[in-house]
Structure 1
Amino acid sequence: EREGGKKQKMGQKQSREKLLYQHVVNGNVGGIRTLSTQGASLEWKDKGGRTPLIVASKNSRLYDVARTLIELGANVNAFSKGHQRGTPLHYAAKAGLQETVALLLSHGANPFVKNSKHETPLDVARKNERHAVVREIEGRICYFAGQMREVFGPGFSDASAPQFSSRVIWVVIVPRSSSNPPRRPRLEFVIYPTPQDAEPRKILCLRKCKIKGPNFQQPSSALIIFDKRNKTRYKFTSVTEGDKQQLRRLYNACKGISQVTQALTQVSSEPVAPPLKLPEMASASLYTSSSPCRLSPWMTTRSNICMKSPRLHNNHCSTAESWITPNQSPPHMGSHEEPNIGSPVVQTPERFSAPLSPAPSAPPLTYDDLSSPIPGTQSEASALVVMEDDKLGSSNLCIICWEASVEGACVPCGHMPGCMSCLKEVKVKNGVCPVCRSDIDQVIKLYGV
């Protein structure tokens, strides 16, 4: 009798989960909620190894079902074991469901998980030419995204060209894996013909490249990347002649300093999900906009920021060109604010509402010899520089406003990220340390001895 009762209960439980799965297929949100409250598991898998959330994530009609399942606690990183192994994000990316992709990313879906074919969701979206999904995922993880001008001709990019010419391209710098400090992410320099293209024209692994930084004292500055694998040089300048800020942002991103300033445009006319609210201030590298941005919980603080800024820092310049080995350049933990400079604005969804023209997102690198102009050119030996871990992040300026000196510390973590006024504002608004994201109990002022 006991065994029979036990089997009956097991059968009831299994049928309840199958019924929930059927409600998912039929889009019955009410039935899903009812069965969930009765104890039905949200992780039951069908013969193909798909969970209810995976089924909902591959169908545009089931967006509300996917949102309901996530609200009820479904695993957004569940991995199917069928012939098309992958997470819900892989399935949504393949189907080109931008809304569902945004929903999953906003609730912690990891965009770096690889399926059975060793493809990330971004790879899947590119392969299936889902440009809206490509822009969505890149917008969550990129260090830089914007238009640049590529110079090609003899010795650059296309050696067969008889003379030098240029073309406007869309450049995105993205990591291949999540950032786990102190390990530096593997960054890729991705070149698209236009923002409407899903498939890259060229992908450069920055660890396999040498980067020659721009000389901002020259009127026509350029960033040169030498791909050591195929012995090819690439030359990039700003779209607008003489605009050094966009070039500076690209250069900093190549060194692992996030420069995301909402330059991404959403070229698709597909509707998007309503944006989620985030604290007005976060920490580390940049995601600047006049409207809140949405960030995935798995991302480290270096990639997360939503801020506004009172002024630009555009009067700094670099003294000389320098070779930087990307895999030796430490990440910079800092944030900077910037204003709306009245640039032409492209109509975009709220989370990607931003001007296309370049805007500074981090203060330029400072050098000890900037006190006076340096005439002439520097020797070739001085042009070779390898950035060590103690070079970046050594500024004593507040990493929030980049104006006042560091004078406050967060308790109990002990980090000293900024001035007292900024730290007090951070404590009031979101109450977490801008460096480590731990809770702030109090902010104390430090005095030099």
Structure 2
Amino acid sequence: MGVIIKNVLAVTMNKKNEILKCNIIAEGKMIKKITTSGLNASTNYRIIDGSGMICIPALINGHVHSDVTLAKGLGDGLSLYQQDYDSHVSRKKWFRDELRGEAGALSRLLLYCEAIKGGTGFICDIPFWPYRTKLLEPIIKLRLRGAIAIDYHTDFLNGKVLEEAELIEKIEWIKSNGAIPVLSGPSEEHYEISLLKKLQKIAEKKDCFIHLHLAETKYRVGIIKQKYRATSVQFLDSIGFLSERLIGSHCVHLTENDIELLIKRGVRIVNCPTAEMKISDGVAPIVNFIDSGYYVGLGTDGALWNDSSDMIHEMKTLLLVQRVKYGAGRILPIDALSAGTIWGARTFGIEKEMGSIEEGKSASIAILNPNKPHVVPIYHGKTSNILQNIITCMNASDVETLLVDGNILMENKKITLIDEKEIIKKSQEIGSRRFSNLEL
């Protein structure tokens, strides 16, 4: 059975950035037709009444660590350096013991439920610990789109590096389950040319992306300057590592030359502004990429660094923090929405499938309800405030319905494929049992 979203105001994010009062007809996974005229639908379609609603492309969360979700709030007031080397977080080994087994699985399901509730249809998940067959369970169970980053370690706290054959086996397994495999490499303090070259060779062999936390903090960039007398970006370029295969997360501490190199080499950027503020990383020069006509994706990061996976809030944060540092006119709501949709899709090479509402693309659509005191009034005529109000007035609670690949994952705020109340109940029980009596 197909789906029709009837009489909705669609923020398409197509090449013209059109906003259309229309009917959207989906068959199977795809959008078959978008019509602004009358509609004659057969009984073979599920009708969703979009009257008074706004729809946007399903959001793309390009950077998440879902396996620490039950540790929400426990990294507060700490810089990344303190978390890594000098705090209860490092002493507790990022709560590895507390997050084992059922707690780890629940952490992931809880975050994915939150993502669906907020209109996210694609997640790049970067787990710290191996989960074998449970790694893809949330994506498969909830029918989300996603990328899974494969850590080069058996455990990110364990120095043992996986063999090439083991990494390739994981890549193939992720591909066979319909997700995008990403090799997750070291942060700056662990850069070794031989390791980076090994990951690069595997990525080229298996045609997959490589992910790095890149230039996130001053202390990490300082390690590279001391060791190689170059910035992190310059060092990676000197060994031929910068390319379109590389996804660089954060990219906060960049020189003008770094920005030029990243653009020239086609490196894919994912910014996490809320996390970068919370742990005092700094403000990334995102407007410089936008001014150069380049694209940037967006992510929320994990619970130890953000506490929220609300991508609408993340788009607002991107807009506001860039304006604080660079000026009110340097970044616009359309840029923030692009980072959460079509630019995010480009980051993962799926812009022909997701990121905009167009005929022939995936029926991955979030329907928002603007009929609330914190959003109205909405204008759409010669003057329009729709983009501004989506980004600066709305939040995850305004998402009513979410479709991904034509599947209705949430309707009228109710997740359709999993018992949300049971996930919340179990998360509260296990989270309380494992964390409430910890001595931190």
The answer, yes or no, to whether TM exceeds 0.5 is no
Higher-Rg structure is 1
The structure with more strand, counted as a fraction of residues? 2
Structure having the higher helix fraction is 2
Tell me which of the two structures has the higher relative contact order, counting C-alpha pairs closer than 8 angstroms and 6 or more residues apart. 2
TM-score, normalization by structure 2: 0.27
